Amino acid sequence: MELNLEQRKLIQLKPNGQCLIKGVAGSGKTTVAVYRIPFLLNYYCYQPDDNVLLVTFTKTLTNYIKYLYDRVNDEDKLPYPSLFSPENARVEIINIDSLVYKYFQQYQLCNNVRFNLLTDKRLAYTYLAQTINELKRQYSNISLLDQQHIIFLYDEIDWIKSCNYLELEEYQNADRLGRMGKQGSDGPKKLPKNSETRRAIFELMKLYNEKLRSSGYVDFKDMALYALKQAKTKVDKKYTHIIIDESQDLTRVQLELLKLLYNEKDYSSICFIADTAQSIYPHSWLVKGRSFASIGFDMTGRSYSLSKNYRTTAQIAKAAYSLIEKDPEIIEDENFVQPSLIDRQGNFPVRRYFTSPQDEAEYIVRELGQYVLKAYNPKDIAIIAKNKEQLRYIKEQLDKAQITANIFERKEMDFEHEGIKLVTIHSVKGLEFKVVFIIGLNSGIIPYISYADEEGRLVQETTDRKLLYVGMTRANDMLYLTCSGQPSKFLQEINCEFLRLSPRAKIGCYYQIPIEKYQFKEKIIDLFSREEQVRQWLINELQEKYKYPLALLDVEYQVNSFSKVGLVDIVVSIYRKNLRIPYIFAEVKALGRGLHNGLEQLKSYMSNEKNCQYGLLTDGNEMVFLDKDLQMIDDIPEFGSWMLPEYIIRYEFHDLKRNRTFILELDQDNPDELVVRSQDAYSEKYDFAQLSAINVYSSVAAGNPTEIFEEPLKEMLLPEEWFNKANEYFILQVKGDSMIGANIASGDMVLVQRQTTAQNRDIVVVALGEEATLKRYVPMGNSVILMPENKNYEPILVQDTKAQIIGVVIGIIKLV
Ligand SMILES: Nc1ncnc2c1ncn2[C@@H]1O[C@H](COP(=O)(O)OP(=O)(O)OP(=O)(O)O)[C@@H](O)[C@H]1O
């Protein structure tokens, strides 16, 4: 892994008190935290008591960090090979709950008390209900003090404790940020400051606490308060450098405890790592509107950003950003970091709607069994859901299909576990998997139905939106989003341009076409039917994704079927020897209503039209493709210019060396000849002996220069006189839009001269990551900037020795 310039700068940042590293999901925040440890140990731990503490959010994340550290380059790791061994007293990596528990234990020991931790929520509600009853008479005018509001009151008390508001005065004046509602609870429209209602709630908390104590209990928030109290009296170990990962989710009490452990010196540091777009806990302190100043740290001039997401493909990243950018609460936060894309192309996320958990599970089992498990190790696959019941159901179905999977609830995750990991969306933060299924994305589950308070509802919606964003950004390669009932509004808000119905087909997800843009209106009987919506969407998709010109499409195509005349919903025709013949038949059903008998009908139409090569049936959600033998296949072919009457393929060739453009004409009936027309209409015909066959590749792997090429896709004939025999050439099919500004679009081809050096601003094929990429080459001292020609992508800075040039682009070839 080649760290980027910003990451390297942050790892080697001179420690100087507090700092904030914020960044988008997958931008390497945790990686920076881990790589920084050896740096601090090497250069900023002078005295015997100097040391480093890295705080994680969960135990699983501690394991994950160890797993990450194994991937650190040896040269960075060498001075501290035993970074994670218990003997290495200079480094401690611990999750926040364990740290709190440690100080809570010390409190008990020092004060000779012993509490039980109240983990049973029902029992907590019983105590709270009793307390409400006792206090009700005293506050008879406070309608909120009633059992019907118990969930709200419980949450409010929890919040007061997590903010360390131990005096009424503080609570009366507190801004209530991040309040959450729970299903069935009915909170107040507003909880005014300095009100009788707040006084009553505060009183309720005190009485409730007394009740718990007299029964020998503390809850989690009490435990943290006792830990803080203990640390204020005595800390057994202070740390010269503290790094706090996922700090956006810590409570005020947790943050204050960590502050007490900080050993301030003129070379010490406390580094907060955060992503506000991933803040998913309602009681976290550093939520919108509350700055670090509230915990005594001035971050002016001390905050740094990481904006490139390295984890996911550009397609997954775009889909995930399209979800959060719809919420101004998220993107207007002062600590929000605008994401930028890195050029990692891959699969589009899949979105599928199901009407029952059973249908959803059947799809997942099928998808895993037939495809995903053939390409990925089960331990690199996660199935994520909002709640545990959803996980239990899918686990049962996977068990039945004999697919090994394990639910990880509270227990820490074992990264070496051989099966598929089933996890709640909350416990997946900070982690990553090659393939991620997020299931049960139903309305009412996400966003959760909250109480009637509009403000609370909006907070809930923002938090749940971030939660789904966290889930989506865990996927390295493939992401599936499914529901098992009424779909979540979030599923519909993700820009459908970035979604597909299947990872193996080009067709996108359904979107509505406005009636005024409907095609073939004159042939349509009912413009307002639900079937027509699907037909018009499909007509659009055939043009947009499969590139079929409208002139090749038609509707209501007549075929004889069972001695009756049938009408095929959409036909795609092609030309053979200048004769127009049907090539694809498509049948549509009403939106989301299932395929029913459609398959039989489609097969019958296809059987009655021998020219038809492919079939397609969809209701805008389910999709079936058939070949001419009526067997199911993954997709239908894209448009090719050979489908047109003339039978001549035309390419535009931009010669970058001579700065000229030619048209290349290839007659399919005469494939060994090539006609080249120049801009001044001069044309020349080349026969086979005058042509050179150049290999066309779909991708070039990065790696050993002699092994970088896969099997060529095909050969392309170009005039021999264009090439210098002393050199080697190849053609590369372009993926992605990062060079669009240089007139190189996805699907175009580039002619490349193989060489290992380049001139300033040449467009080069350069090895980077697993696959070689196309960028503009700009050398700068000992480094090289690989410039994309698209403002959505960031330039990549690498050491010149690491930028292995494979060739220089000398021409661009486009189908016209
Ligand atoms: N410069 C880099 N080049 C290639 N891969 C990188 C680079 N930096 C980080 N990564 C990889 O990107 C992935 C995400 O990194 P990491 O977990 O540190 O990000 P994060 O910002 O902490 O993410 P999140 O906030 O979503 O948990 C990891 O697989 C990491 O190895």
Single-letter amino acid, residue 59 = K
User: pLDDT at position 658, please?
Assistant: 87
Residues 384, 405: Cα–Cα separation, whole Å: 12
Residue 422 CA to ligand 1 center (angstroms) comes to 22
C-alpha to C-alpha distance for 473 and 316, rounded to whole angstroms:
7
Q: How confident is the model at residue 88 (pLDDT cuts 50, 70, 90)?
A: low
Taking a C-beta distance cutoff of 8 angstroms, is the pair 592, 619 a contact? yes
Q: What is the pLDDT of residues 41-69, one digit of tens each?
A: 889 999 989 999 999 998 888 888 877 66
Give Cβ neighbours of residue 74 (< 8 Å, ≥ 6 apart): none
Of the candidates 193, 506, 738, 783, the residue annotated as catalytic is 738
Whole-number Å distance between alpha carbons of 376 and 168: 56
**Using an 8 Å Cβ cutoff, are 612 and 625 in contact?**
no
* Closest-CA residue to 145 (of 104, 191, 112, 178): 191
Range of lowest pLDDT (80-84, 302-306, 629-633, 724-728): 80-84
Pocket test for ligand 1, best of 335, 415, 432, 477 (most atoms within 8 A of CB): 432
* pLDDT band of 677, cuts 50, 70, 90: confident
CA of 430, closest atom in ligand 1: 27
Task: For residue 14, give the DSSP letter.
Answer: P
Among 328-332, 560-564, 725-729, whose mean pLDDT is lowest?
Answer: 560-564
Any residues with CB less than 8 A from the CB of 243 and at least 6 apart, and which?
33, 36, 37, 52, 53, 54, 55, 271, 273
Are 696 and 714 contacting, i.e. CB atoms less than 8 angstroms apart?
A: yes
Tens of pLDDT, residues 721-769 = 999 988 899 999 988 888 999 999 988 999 999 999 999 999 999 987 6
Instruction: For residue 27, give the ligand 1 atom closest to its CA.
Output: 21
Q: What is the rounded distance in angstroms from the CA atom of residue 645 to the CA atom of residue 247? A: 63
Out of 259, 775, 791, 802, pick the active-site residue.
775
User: Model confidence over 631-649: pLDDT tens digits?
Assistant: 999 999 999 878 887 667 8
- pLDDT higher than 80, residue 149: yes
Give the confidence band of 700 by pLDDT, cuts at 50, 70, 90.
confident
Ligand 1 nearest atom to the CA of residue 275, by list position? 25
Active site residue 429: no
pTM of the model: 0.79
271 Cα–ligand 1 center, Å: 18
Number of neighbouring beta carbons within 10 Å of residue 245: 27
Nearest residue by C-alpha to atom 30 in ligand 1:
28
Residue with CA at minimum distance from ligand 1 atom 23 = 26
Q: Which residues line ligand 1 (CB under 6 A)?
A: 1-4, 7, 23, 25-31, 275, 278, 310-311, 430, 432, 473
The reported pLDDT for the residue numbered 181 is 43
Is 192 in contact with 198 (CB distance < 8 Å)? yes
- Centroid of ligand 1 to alpha carbon of 2 (angstroms): 11
- The reply, when asked if residue 28 is annotated as ligand binding, is yes
27 is in an annotated binding site: yes
361 touches 491 (CB < 8 A): no
Structure token digits, residue 23: 């960044």
301 is in an annotated binding site: no
Residue 65 three-state SS: helix
User: 683 alpha carbon to ligand 1 midpoint, in Å?
Assistant: 53
Q: What is the 3-state secondary structure (H, E, C) of 475-488?
A: EEEEEEEEEECCEC
Atom of ligand 1 minimally distant from the CA of 64: 17
- CA dist 571 and 535 (Å) reads 11
Q: Across all residues in the chain, what is the average pLDDT?
A: 89
Closest CA to 808 of 635, 633, 656: 656
Low-confidence winner among 11-20, 97-106, 131-140, 766-775 (lowest mean pLDDT): 766-775
Comparing CA positions, the residue from 707, 702, 761 lying closest to residue 2 is 702
Q: Is the ipTM of this complex over 0.95?
A: yes
Q: Which ligand 1 atom sits closest to the C-alpha of 310?
A: 12
Of the residues 9, 24, 27, 64, which should be mutated to test ligand 1's pocket, given the most ligand atoms within 8 Å of the CB?
Answer: 27
Structure token digits, residue 265: 């010196």
652-666 average pLDDT score: 91
> CA-to-CA distance for 179 and 156, rounded, in angstroms?
8
Q: CA gyration radius for the chain?
A: 31
Asked if residues 490 and 448 have their Cβ atoms less than 8 Å apart, the reply is: no
The answer to whether 738 is a known catalytic residue is yes
Tokens of 726: 């002393």
Query: Which pLDDT value is given to residue 794?
Result: 84
pLDDT confidence of residue 184: 41
Confidence of residue 448 (pLDDT cuts 50, 70, 90): confident
Contacts of 21 (CB under 8 A, 6+ apart): 10, 29, 32, 33, 271, 272, 273, 274, 303, 304, 305, 306
Tell how far the Cα of 305 is from the centroid of ligand 1, in angstroms.
14
Q: Is 485 labeled as ligand-binding? A: no
The secondary structure element, H or E, covering residue 434 is strand 433-438
Smallest CA separation from ligand 1 atom 6, residue: 310
